[in-house]
Amino acid sequence: MKKLVCEMCGSNDLLKQDGVFVCQGCGCKYSVEEARKMMMEDGGTGGPVSTPAAPVPGVNQGQIDNYLGMAKSALEGSNNEEAENYANKIIEIDPQNWQAWSIKGTAAGWQTTGRNNRYGESVVAWIKALTYVPEEERSNLRIELMVSAQQIGAAIVQMHGNHFVDYRSEDNKLDVLNSAQNVKEQLQMLKEQTGEEFYTNDFSTRLGRIINGAAVGGSNNADEEFGPEDLNRGKYEWDRYTQSSDRCLKLLEKAFDLSYDDELSFTISKNYVVVATAVRDSCSYKFVPNAYTDGSYQVDYTFTEAAKKSRTNTINTWQKRVDWYDPAHRKARMEAVLGQCEAARVSVEEDAAREQYWSEHAQEKAALEQEREALTRQADQLEADLAADPVYEERKRKQEAIDDLSRQKQGLGLFKGKEKKAIQEQIDQIQGELGQVNSRISQMEEACSQKLQPLRSRATEIGEELNRSRGRLPMVHGEQLELLEGRHFKGSPMEVLRKIQAILPQGYKAGKEEGEAAIVNYSKTSHDLAQSIQGLTDALQGRKSEKKEWVDDPNEDKQYRINLVRGEDVTGVHLALHAKSIHQDCSGECCFGINGSFSEDSAVDFVKVVSRLLFAALPTSDLETLQTFLAQSLYGLAESDQIYQDGVRLRMVRKQYTWLEFEVL
């Protein structure tokens, strides 16, 4: 029995469609002549035969070179079908010809249409090319294929984006989203097979820019179709407008997720606010006739108050993104953060200089402190003696007597004038006595104040002398934090935590509780997530999913996180450690993260804490340089997203979350 076997994926499921044989596994197409040459014996296994086609007799290297030249010329002339045919001829002769596989993949990709996406074929062919290419040619091929892969991938997403601009249907929206996802998945598969990274942050941003353009173009067309005349804004037109606009908003959400560029994220966020606001405030109109006038158009349908509130909340979220990514706002915030960090650094260095001075003048400091303590005791005793004088008790008794007589007088009736007069005479007498008492107290307090003033003044002078600036003592690396040894953390997570606590300013501690309670184990969560994803994948592919129970094996790799907080308010700063258990050695890379919507206070905390830790860990680093880099990178204003210090690479990554990768090279 004979059967066809696809040279690309080894599948024997080929069907004849429109005069050609199409592989149902990878989509590769073969002409009738090509299919005839591919026919081979099954071998009795019942499965596909993967034996490569034998070279055609009589064809030499010169013929391969001739085909290769024609394939390259055809590809350069954008005659992709012809280029693919010549590449296939070469592969028939030499199945390991990497140049032919490269051309075949590129030519196939450029033949993608809305109904026939051949990007998967391209990736399979490129994997073959990278598998067979000589090592000395690999670098050039990688660059060439990256350009092709990104150009074709972008063109496919652009094609679907153009369709959406013209026809904003749900299917066309999904085509845009799915095409972007498919390109990413295909390039990830290419990386898994070859180790080559083609899906870069820049390329992701490029796709985000394309999808943003499709969303804006679609929104503009929807606006034109919906207005401006009220006669074009009936219930049917309004429904179509709101549905189209909501699909545009979905594309903007995807574009934002893909963007790694602050300016593009700023533009996307503004576009979202504009479109979402217009949709929220839109309505339909109906014509209302009037016996006395020509009639008028009046509001008919609008969103409910609940729906408007929900949309307003979403708009407010995106407005925060607009504010966050606004270049002017980011620069002002960055400068404010650097200003606070500078002030904190000066304070720390002044404290260090003051501490050093008094350590060298310990006897003088002790004498001053003893004198201040004696002065304080003497002043406290004077105030205590004054407060204990009986005259204050006498004043209290006389005031109570006056208050009691006043109540008696108020309780007398209207015709008790004589009695009231007698009571008033008593009050007047006691008030006179009270005045004399207050006069004596004033004299006593004045005398005490004259004695206290020089004591308090001298104590203040001593305090000012003890706290007077002694210059600044720049922080040095003498307190080196030996955090890393080779490419691994030195010590267990708890030991690393104790080292961090020893050098971080402002009393930072691990979590809201000390000790092991601050270590968070993520392995159970990761296991459950992996199980759910695997179960979904198995279901989609028709496989029976086997659930594996999670076992807390102390020898199994786990991920832990140590939170760094200020008081009880979490700043968002954390140190992520990869460890086998709490007390065993750590390994992996050190990451510090903070939410992209953080406040200026938490940004200051991030820069101060992380720069202080890095300064302690890197022998030749400069604290001010580290703080400047962190603040600029945090706000997307750094000239470079990475710097190198003492064999360690610091790289800031900004997305919905911003984090710094601290990696030993």
Q: And the tokens for 177?
A: 């989203």
The two structure tokens encoding residue 574: 């954390």
Name the band, by pLDDT with cuts 50, 70 and 90, for residue 229. confident
Taken as a whole, the chain contains a residue count of 665
H or E segment and range at residue 610 = helix 600-617
More confident residue, 534 or 612: 612
In this structure, the answer to whether residues 510 and 658 fall within a common structural domain is yes
Answer yes or no: is 532 within a domain: yes
The dihedral formed by the CA atoms of 10, 11, 12 and 15, expressed in degrees to the nearest 10: -130
Share of the chain above pLDDT 90, in %: 52
The verdict on 463 and 485 lying in the same domain is no
What is the per-residue pLDDT across 18-55, written as a single tens digit (0 to 9) for each? 666 766 555 666 666 666 666 543 333 333 333 343 44
Count of alpha carbons within 13 angstroms of residue 549, beta-carbon side:
2
Please name the residues in contact with 278: beta carbons below 8 A apart, sequence gap of 6 or more. 223, 245
Mean pLDDT of the chain: 82
Answer yes or no: do 274 and 213 share one domain. Answer: yes
Q: What is the mean pLDDT of residues 327-355?
A: 90
Phi, psi at 30, each rounded to 5°: -135, 135
For residue 542, tell me if it sits in a domain: no
Q: Are 87 and 107 in contact (CB under 8 A)?
A: yes
CB atoms under 10 Å from CB of 400, counted, come to: 10
In a domain, 59, yes or no: no
CA atoms of 1 and 40, how far apart (whole Å): 9
Please state, in angstroms and rounded to a whole number, the distance separating the CA atoms of residues 517 and 182: 42
Q: Both tokens of residue 461? A: 């002078």
- How many domains does the chain divide into? 5
pLDDT in tens, 553-570: 555 555 555 555 544 444
498-547 per-position pLDDT tens digit? 776 666 655 555 444 444 444 455 556 556 656 666 676 666 666 777 77
Higher pLDDT, 404 or 596: 404
Same domain, 487 and 630: yes
Task: Judge if 434 and 561 occupy the same domain.
Answer: no
Residues 401 and 527 in one domain: no
430 CB burial (10 A radius; 0-12, 13-18, 19+): middle
Query: Do 626 and 615 meet the contact criterion of CB atoms below 8 Å apart?
Result: yes
Q: Are residues 176 and 103 in the same domain?
A: yes
Is 583 in the same domain as 438? no
Q: Which tokens in the block code for residue 484?
A: 């890393």
Are the beta carbons of 48 and 81 closer than 8 angstroms?
no
Q: Which residues contact 92 (CB under 8 A, 6 or more apart)?
A: 34, 37, 53, 56
**Other C-beta atoms within 10 Å of 577: how many?**
23
Burial (Cβ within 10 Å: 0-12, 13-18, ≥19) of residue 57? exposed
User: Is residue 6 domain-shared with residue 110, that is, in the same domain?
Assistant: no
Query: Does residue 342 belong to any structural domain of this protein?
Result: no
pLDDT at residue 262 is higher than 80? yes
CA distance 146 to 191: 11
Question: Predicted confidence band at 212 (pLDDT cuts at 50, 70, 90)?
Answer: very high
Cα-to-chain-centroid distance, residue 540: 31
In the predicted model, is pLDDT for residue 396 greater than 80? Answer: yes
- In the 8-state DSSP scheme, what is residue 580? S
pLDDT of residue 514: 40
Structure tokens at 308: 């408007």
Q: Do 170 and 130 belong to one domain?
A: yes
CB 513: neighbour CB atoms within 10 A? 9
Q: Is residue 504 part of a domain?
A: yes
Residue 336 domain-assigned (yes or no): no
Percentage of the chain surpassing pLDDT 70? 73
pTM given for the model: 0.64
Instruction: Determine which of 255-269, 278-292, 299-313 has the lowest per-residue pLDDT on average.
Output: 278-292
251 shares a domain with 190: no
Task: Show the domain range for 429.
Answer: 363-467
Tokens of 28: 């590769």
Whether residue 447 is found in the same domain as residue 367? yes
Q: Is residue 551 part of a domain?
A: no
